[in-house]
Structure 1
Amino acid sequence: MQKINSTILSSVFVLIGTIILLLCVFVLPRVAQETVLIHPEVAYLRYPILLGMYVTALPFFYAIYETVKMIQVIERKSIFSSRIVQGLNHIKYCAFVIIVLYVLGIFVLDYANALPSVIAVMGFGILIVTIMVAAGAAFIKNVLIKNQLKLSN
């Protein structure tokens, strides 16, 4: 039964990663084009914004990879493995990288008076979700470390 659950969970994360990849390839360029049509004064920022969003997708995909690897480790070993704590650290750092890049991007665009509302809403939505992921990873890591210490004593 546990193997089925971990397979389903891994499949869900791979599906999420695939959906985000498809959004990056097909939807983001369209949103950028529509934003240029609506706000022609920021047309020169179309490709820098797209590049920034693609750069932040890289840590996201690495975090998905780490999550799938952690599920495999849990399936084979134990949830109290040091590899799980290491994976949670990687996920937390990926979230922090995404947060820093989006905050910098939003400040730069706002400073240049070139922050389209569509990009602002998308950016703040991504920021909120990423902050929740970072906090969740840090919380789970602390719980695992406390339980490891209790088990070793």
Structure 2
Amino acid sequence: MERGTTFFLRATVVAIGLAILAICAWGLPLVIGDLADTFPAYMLLPVLIIAYASAIPFFYALYQALRLLRFIDRNHAFSERSVQALKRVKYCGFAICALYAASLPFLYLMAEKDDAPGLIVIGLVIAFASLVIAVFAAVLQQLLKSAVDFKSELDFTV
């Protein structure tokens, strides 16, 4: 793969990371501050904790994506380290999905109190998007693992 393509992907990953960091630093406190008048703390606090907790596997997955792009730049795309990076991205996707699935009861309570069913949809969209990413990473991991095994078999033959 050309360096220009991986540079663009790397820049995109960094931009996504900066956007989520800005949301965590400024967006969530502003939204929670506005909602504090409407909802009690037992509804808001778990959602806020889950939102911040999901940032940890998200940033770790972004780091693994940057590592994978570095492996591609160095022509080590078909290596066991690339398979491990995809495996970690898969686990991060499943962790984010589980966290947002755990937030759905609290979002339901909030939606019930404010008559806003869109809150549940937002939680479901984030959970399913991270699940799709996790499944996609799992498929890529299996394909890459097969390619690495085939490459090592060829190396032993020659």
Question: TM-score w.r.t. structure 2 length?
Answer: 0.82
Conserved? CA contact 1:89–1:137, under 8 Å = yes
Unaligned 5+ runs, structure 2: 112-116
1:71 and 1:126 map into 2 onto residues whose CA distance is 25
In the other structure, the counterpart of 1:85 is 83
Q: Which moved more, 1:119-128 or 1:61-70?
A: 119-128
The residue aligned with 2:140 is 140
Q: Displacement, 1:43? A: 4.2
What root-mean-square deviation, in Å, do the aligned CA atoms of Structure 1 and Structure 2 show?
2.0
CA displacement at 1:69 relative to structure 2: 0.9
Compute the displacement of 1:7 (Å).
1.6
Deviation of the 1:105 alpha carbon: 2.2
| Map of 1:27 onto structure 2 | 27
| Counterpart for residue 76 of structure 1 | 74
What is residue 122 of structure 1 aligned with on the other side?
122
Task: State the partner residue of 1:67.
Answer: 65
Partner of 1:150: 150
Which AA in structure 2 matches 1:22?
A: A
- Report percent identity of matched pairs: 30
What TM-score comes out, normalization by structure 1 length?
Answer: 0.85
Q: For residues 57 and 41 of structure 1, what CA distance do their matches in structure 2 show? A: 23
Question: Are 1:45 and 2:43 an aligned pair?
Answer: yes
Q: CA deviation at 1:41?
A: 4.3
Tell me which moved more, 119-128 or 10-19. Answer: 119-128
